[in-house]
Amino acid sequence: MLHTLELSTAKRDEMRDITREVRSLVKNSGIVNGLAVIYCPHTTAGITINENADPDVKHDVLMRLDDVYPWEHPKYRHAEGNTASHLKAITTGSSQTVIIQEGDLVLGRWQGIYFCEFDGPRQRRYLVKLIED
């Protein structure tokens, strides 16, 4: 089963917790055991799994990505001016695979699935492919 979900981002850089949406798809699918593949079809956004208990983690991750990939750099050549967004997306990756066991996502106690926006605000989409064992 392939699902396409949409979201609107509000900032240039943000991490949106999409765990609830993905978990809902799994529960409604009836799949007991399998895999969920969460994929971002954008070159300036990504998908990651990280802590979802303390919002300061999102802040710190985005801050350090800005330090490593500043928005402006004298050697950037990309005409659109969003080279940093591409680099951040490469770093986070475009997809994550999560095991489904007993009808639910297998995530660590503090883990969440995040859509990472690096060139917003924008209207975005991500795909979730559910695969049954």
* Tens-place pLDDT, residues 78-117: 999 999 999 999 999 999 999 999 999 999 999 999 999 9
22 contact partners, CB below 8 Å, separation of at least 6: 36, 38, 98, 105, 113, 128
pTM comes to: 0.95
Q: Provide the 8-state DSSP code for 25.
A: H
**Burial class of residue 80 (count of CB atoms within 10 Å of its CB; 0-12, 13-18, 19+):** exposed
Dist. CA 50–CA 38, nearest whole Å: 14
Domain span at residue 35 reads 2-132
Q: How many domains does the chain have?
A: 1
The residue type of 128 is: V
Q: What is the CATH number of the domain that holds 67?
A: 2.60.120.460
